[in-house]
Amino acid sequence: MEKAKLFFSALAAFVTLCAFAQNGEVRGIVTDASTGEGVPFASVMVKGTMNGVASDADGVYAISAASDAVLAFSAIGYESLEVPVDGRSEINVELEPDTEVLEETVVVGYGSAKSVTHLVGSVQTVNSETLKNAPSSSALDQLQGQVAGLQVLTSSGVAGDDAVSMKLHGVGSLGTSSEPLYVIDGIPSSSRTIMAMNPNDIESISVLKDAAATSIYGSRAANGVIYVTTKVGSYNESASITARAQYGVSTLASMNLYRNMMSGSELMDFWVRSGIHSEQWVYDNYISRGYTNNTKWYEYFMNLVTPQYQSDITIEGGGRNVAYMISGSQYHQEGFTPGNYYDRYTVRSNVQGHPTNWLKFGLNLNLSLDTTEQNGNWGDSSGGSPYMAGGLSYLLNPLYPALDENGNVYSEWFPELSLPNMNYDSEMSYNIQRRYGANGNVFVEIEPVKNLKLVSRAGVDGYILTQDLFTSPSYVDKYGMGTATVGRGSSLQYSATITNTLEYSMNINANNRFSVLLGQEGVMNDYQFFSAQSYGQTDDRTAILQNGVPERNAVSESSTQSKFLSFFGHADYALFDRYYADVTVRNDASSRFGSAVRNATFWSAGLRWNILRESFMQTAGWLDALDLKVSYGTQGNAAIGDYEALGIISTSGMYNGLAGLALIQPENNMLTWEQQALLTVGLSGRMFDVFDFEVQFYDRRTTSMLMAVPNPYTTGFPSVTGNVGTMSNTGVDVTLGVDILRGADYFLRFSTTFNYNSQKILELFDGRKRWEIANTSVAYVVGNPVMFYSPIYAGVDPEDGMPMWYLPGDDKDVTTMDPTRVTKEFNEAELIQNTGKQRYAPINGGFSLSGAWKGLSLQADFTYVLGKYLINNDAYFYMNPAANPNENVHKAASDFWTPNNTDAQYPDWSKGVQMQFDTHLLEDASFLRLKNLQVAYSLPERWLEWTNGVVKDFRITFTGRNLFTMTNYSGIDPEVDSNLTYGVAGNSKQLLGGIEITF
């Protein structure tokens, strides 16, 4: 390295001396206009020539130039400057920071921040303006529709439910998670930790998409990387205080299903007309007993309008050698179901110090307390709560009364329903979880010699979770609801990371620069869990663990640990600010895999060509930027259990009165990494200083997939995790933007993202061509994407009103819908076939409209998913009157067969025909949604003059989320990342108003 440096220095000196022979020498220093410090590696060019040099680490330069020449000064993060020589031999200049360029500097790996204009990898960044004042509990929800190729779905409206799922460029594996790697300020983390952060503390979220950007993270980057950068104050900036407060309400994003259920009179009329019940039966069981109500039970079992409020305060600033940001926040959201709420409190401290020009240090720390309460007797959003969390109360019979004889709501128990009032039930039965979280890191950066940086960083991401369960004994005795229970539980999980890097960067001259990074990283993950539950409690006053029935007590305990050890290197090179190249190599070892195959090496190579700088493009004045990127590389996936490769022995109950041990998992010493190869080609640019675009093609191939491979039952092991199967995802990302209007105090911009992804399974295991996943209506078939397999409904026979189904052809993997080959005999095993509907939507994206005029600003973000299908399991109940003859029915069920309505959608209900699990339930769940709307107004400065500069800014905000949805899905909500829905609470619509004051 030293010899190479001496060689290039000698070569540069020789060229400079030759130039000095014809021109005069100009010397000087380039400084930062705001700080007065030298600007290292600034470019100094003689305008109109290829003669140029770079300033040294202190900003000092020397260049040969004619007395009438013009010097052009430029540097990353600064505005360019041209200065005539005018015969001078010394020219000192100050460069003004360019805030627009500074905002385009991102951290994408372990090294220094890179300018977007010089970046080889594919990175898209969402800034703090989009993330601030987010009404949802997780900032990740704000990414929906913002990044081409990133699909974000929020599957639940339950307060405190961490139901945000993210997939980049499709599903990368059939047997493991497709979640990206989350990194917060350089430390690997999780989506749950981001939920425990105040969105206003986040500076930006960068999505690393291609191999050139992700391979530096190696074994855990197969599904992309979400890099979160938190805010820190600025050096030499006086302290400022920003306080924010918002208050608003939440409602269900859609009430269509509830409103489309029958009223009491409609239900009685339907029963009689359909022949499900006779007119006499209806009179005897309902009318004669006074049950002629029109009760909308969801109004009693759910809170349809709930409060939400959040507030935070931030103090940030800095001196000559220190920068800081300190914040605190509070967030409260109440759920639609009684007893459900989510509270979050956070404190953050980010501090950086730069006491000398060779030493830098910092601390980033976030502490949080989350509290989530749900009704302990009815479950949560997973579907275990058919009348409460899931909102299936629309199925309840509307003819029964909710009011007693005095006109008051039954406070404890609805006698005709034999169900409790949920407000009372939530008092008698609860499940409270408290999560104490910590995420932070400390780092030291030393520059012992110029351009050589040594960085050591240690971080931790962890939490302690406690859980309290209670169901009142008196409640159980009185109404027989549930089991009198007391439960206590706790878990501890943390990930500790230590990273050391050595980075060297050098500008050989104005046209050649490179950097090299070497690093080491160690990660240790630890999880511990304990739970105790006591059943059969007899008295509310003595309901503690030891007072249950001993024989029914349940105690469980577990712990796991895993470790990663990594070594990596990265090098990048730039020539003439026109050609860019980088190479990455990383070796990872993980304790999760077999001892013989724990190590794997991942790599990438990328090229970028700034086409606009070529001489043949100089006449293209309408082009402002044009770049071509190509990258190829490999990444890995280790998202399996910590002990999947080990042989595990466990107790197997009692045998002949004695406890025994048994092998429950055989050893798999050859279990190793899931591998992915990713090729990306992209073209981006800007035209007419108005229109910008980026188009990216990708080919993502996964091999050695980590899957649970089924075994013959005679082995004693139903399945064993192995490296089997291959699949591919190919597609295109498109990002477009246009500046519609732009002026001194106004702008209007439209932008859109689009992704098309084609998934294909290339290989399964043991030579299989098809693998049907039990009880999911999903199958893996070689040559196809993941598809829904189900009997295909053929409609109603116009002759007799019986339902019909298409008979499959000889190949069940080919969709067959021959109207001459139908049957009325339902046999799922014989009728199941490829429905032609994909499990994962191939198209997703979004579009945004943003604008500002004087102090008024607007941001409207829409998101869409096309080709999404979902099994509406709820419809099995609300469209199945013969199976549930005393429950409410959807109005669409009125279109049933009669001799006068032979082309009806539904069969002759009088024949006792029940709904079957077929394509009747498989619905198009594509949707378009107004995901986010923000309107803000900053008061004019003259209105704040009376504060004598105390109040620097006063801002009024309005924020809306999920304000409207367009979909043909008949269920509660289409935005569910699952193969089916059942009793899952729908997304929430939120409206909040707020103020933001800066002092």
Q: What is the 3-state secondary structure (H, E, C) of 428-482?
A: HEEEEEEEEEEEEEEEEEEEEECCEEEEEEEEEEEEEEEEEEEECHHHHHHHCCC
Q: Are residues 74 and 125 in the same domain?
A: no
Structure tokens at 391: 């909102």
CATH of the domain at 362: 2.40.170.20
**pLDDT value at position 857?**
93
Q: Is residue 930 part of a domain?
A: yes
> Which H or E run contains 861?
strand 856-866
Q: Are residues 602 and 509 in the same domain?
A: yes
Rounded CA separation 208/225 (Å):
5
The answer to whether 231 and 201 have CB atoms below 8 angstroms apart is yes
Q: Please tell me what DSSP assigns to residue 400.
A: S
* Same domain (yes/no): 405, 363: yes
- CATH code (residue 145): 2.170.130.10
Angle, vertex CA 363, rays to CA 362 and CA 369, nearest 5:
165
The answer to whether residue 802 sits within a structural domain is no
Q: Establish if 298 belongs to a structural domain.
A: no
- pLDDT for res 3: 43
What pLDDT is attached to residue 9?
44
CA–CA separation, 554 and 483 (whole Å): 14
Q: What is the pLDDT of residues 715-769, one digit of tens each?
A: 778 888 999 999 999 999 999 999 999 888 889 999 999 999 999 999 999 889 9
385 and 508 part of one domain = yes
**Are β-strands 164-168 and 150-154 bridged in parallel, bridged antiparallel, or unpaired?**
antiparallel
| CATH classification of the domain holding 91 | 2.60.40.1120
Residues 6+ apart with CB under 8 A from 367: 346, 347, 348, 437, 438
Residue 902 and residue 906: Cα distance in Å, rounded?
A: 10
Calpha distance 99→446 (Å, rounded)? 27
Q: Which residues of 812-851 are buried (b: 16+ CB within 10 A; e: fewer)?
A: bbebbbeeeebeeebeeeebbbbbebbbbbbbbbbbbbbb
Residues 6+ apart with CB under 8 A from 708: 175, 719, 720, 721
| DSSP β-ladder status, 980-981 and 869-872 | parallel
Whether residue 844 sits in one domain with residue 702: yes
Contact status, residue 228 vs residue 184, Cβ threshold 8 Å:
yes
Please give the angle made by the CA atoms of 703, 704 and 709, to the nearest 5 degrees.
130
User: What is the number of other CB atoms lying within 10 angstroms of the CB of residue 743?
Assistant: 8
Question: Of 69, 101, 133, which marks where a domain is finished?
Answer: 101
822 assigned to some structural domain: no
Residue 900: inside a domain? no
Q: Does residue 542 share a domain with residue 474?
A: yes
Q: What is the DSSP string of 222-245?
A: TT-EEEEEE----TTEEEEEEEEE
CB 809 within 8 A of CB 834: no
Instruction: Say whether both 54 and 131 belong to one domain.
Output: no
732 and 862, same domain (yes or no)? yes
This prediction's pTM: 0.86
In a domain, 313, yes or no: yes
Return d(Cα 780, Cα 906) in angstroms, integer.
Answer: 31
Closest C-alpha to 181, from 141, 518, 442, 172: 172
89 and 166 belong to one structural domain: no
Q: Which amino acid is at 620?
A: A
Question: Does residue 297 form part of some domain?
Answer: no
Same domain as 339, residue 443 = yes
The secondary element (H helix, E strand) that includes residue 16 is: helix 2-20
- The count of structural domains within the chain is 3
Q: Where are the alpha helices (DSSP H) in 92-242?
A: 99-103, 128-131, 191-195, 211-214
Low-confidence ranges of the chain (pLDDT < 70): 1-22, 98-107, 111-115, 162-163, 376-391, 652-659
Is residue 5 situated within a structural domain?
A: no
Residue 65, SS3 per DSSP: strand
Residues 768 and 858 in one domain: yes
Nearest by Cα to 741 from 732, 750, 733: 750
Domain span at 219: 102-235
pLDDT of residue 508: 83
Task: Find, among 150, 158, 230, the residue nearest to 189 by Cα.
Answer: 230
Q: How far apart are CA 683 and CA 687, in angstroms?
A: 13
76-86: pLDDT as tens digits: 778 889 999 99
- Note whether 226 and 350 are same-domain residues: no
H helices of 323-400, in order, are none
* Count of beta carbons in the 10 Å neighbourhood of residue 19: 17
Dihedral of CA atoms 789, 790, 794, 800 in degrees, nearest 10, equals 170
Domain boundary (180, 205, 235) is at 235
Give the CB-side neighbour count of residue 352, counting CA atoms within 13 A.
18
Using the 3D structure, point to which of 182, 203, 235 is the last residue of a domain.
Answer: 235
In the prediction, which pLDDT does 824 show? 95
